[in-house]
Amino acid sequence: MSSNIVPTSKPVKSTGLHIGAAEPGCAKRDPILVADKVSRSFGGLKAVDVDHLEVPRGAITALIGPNGAGKTTLFNLLTGFDKPDTGTWTFEGRSLGGVPAYKVARMGQVRTFQLTKALGLLTVMDNMLLGAKGQDGESLVKSVLPFLWRGQETANEAKALELLTRFKLDTKKNDYAASLSGGQRKLLEMARALMSDPTLVMLDEPMAGVNPALTQSLLDHVLNLKSEGMSVLFVEHDMHMVRHIADWVVVMAEGRVVAEGDPYEVMQNQAVIDAYLGKHHDEDLGEDTENVEAMKELLDDEL
């Protein structure tokens, strides 16, 4: 597949994804998702206050930031799982304001969750079949006439088995989802998302809680999404993973987008360093945290 993205295997000055300087909210050449003035408050806390954000098409975009930056809340707003206080956003040029989550998914924008939503008392195969859209058998009238939907169900089962084989879950197809490990449930959720043939896949911390033995497999699957023509937006705390697979990085802090750019430039951005280490990090780093250590290690690697 042709792409206007420069591979991130080494530092680059420009990915060719954006127009003008890579500043917070910068315009993209071909955005698939555009958000304007999106905000959400909980009590007196403004969890999200995004002035403008564009997600490039055909790229893997990482959404990073310290804990409490508003990343998951923004995901919930953009996918219809929560309602904003203000703002508008479009997917493929179509407004998603007020559109419920299931309709957003039908339009081609699907998401996974940090805490997986696999239905434990259904089999792995049944979980997969739930992801297929436009099923005739769901119609009350057609459901009593199997000849109207049996062929479609057979095709869905074949597609589900193909995806399960690709994600190395085919031997588990008749097992209950509750019997899967945490990493296997992550794989199942990603595979189920692909049943709807999405154009934008949004992954909320896909590596969280995953056994290191499955990490590389998940990374490969994320990269494959792009090679198959899908756009990817994912939340992640593992900076080495972000640098390895992301074409573009968006940084949030205190609900706002504070920086954007290719992974190498972003990791040296002062606003990013301040967001992770604190504005007075040169004076006193305080107690070590996961974010601080990860950022310090990555900065040491870059230097």
Kindly give, in sequence order, each residue whose CB lies less than 8 Å from that of residue 91, ignoring residues fewer than 6 positions away: 32, 33, 104, 107, 108, 109, 200
Which DSSP string do the residues of 154-166 spell out, in sequence order?
HHHHHHHHHHHHH
**pLDDT tens for each residue of 192-229:** 999 989 999 999 988 877 777 778 888 888 999 999 99
Crossing angle (nearest 10°) for helices 182-194 and 150-166: 130
What are the strands of the beta sheet with 31-42, ordered from one edge?
45-56, 31-42, 86-91, 94-95
What is the per-residue pLDDT for 188?
92
User: How are strands ordered across the β-sheet holding 256-261?
Assistant: 109-111, 200-204, 231-235, 60-64, 248-253, 256-261
CA–CA separation, 143 and 111 (whole Å): 28
Give the β-pairing of 248-253 and 86-91.
Answer: unpaired
pLDDT the model gives residue 219: 86
3-state SS string for 45-102:
EEEEEEEEEEEECCCEEEEECCCCCCHHHHHHHHCCCCCCCEEEEEECCEECCCCCHH
Residue 125 has pLDDT above 90, yes or no: yes
Q: Please report, as a single letter, which amino acid is at residue 238.
A: D
pLDDT digits (tens, 9 = 90+) for 28-60: 989 999 999 999 999 889 999 999 999 999 999
Phi (first) and psi of residue 148, to 5 degrees: -80, -20
Measured CA distances, 248 to 103, 146, 184 (Å): 27, 47, 27
The average confidence (pLDDT) of the chain is 83
pLDDT, tens digit (0-9, with 9 covering 90-100), for 144-194: 676 666 777 889 999 999 999 999 999 999 999 999 988 889 899 999 999
Q: How far apart are the first and last CA of the chain?
A: 34
Q: What is the pLDDT of residue 278?
A: 64
Residue 27 CA to residue 228 CA, distance in Å, equals 25
pTM of the model: 0.80
What are the helix (H) ranges across the chain?
71-78, 101-106, 124-130, 150-166, 182-194, 212-227, 239-245, 263-266, 270-277, 290-302
Q: 142 pLDDT exceeds 50?
A: yes
237: amino acid identity, one letter? H
What is residue 277's predicted lDDT score, i.e. its pLDDT?
64
What pLDDT sits at residue 209?
73
Residue 11: pLDDT above 60? no
Q: Which residues pair with 34 in a beta bridge?
A: 54, 90
Domains recognised in the chain with CATH numbers: 1-118+198-303 (3.40.50.300), 120-179 (no CATH)
Tens of pLDDT, residue by residue over 89-102, are 999 999 998 899 99
Report which of 219, 241, 243, 235 is spatially closest to residue 302, judged by C-alpha positions: 243
Give pLDDT, residue 118: 82
Q: Where is average pLDDT lowest: 4-18, 123-137, 257-271?
A: 4-18
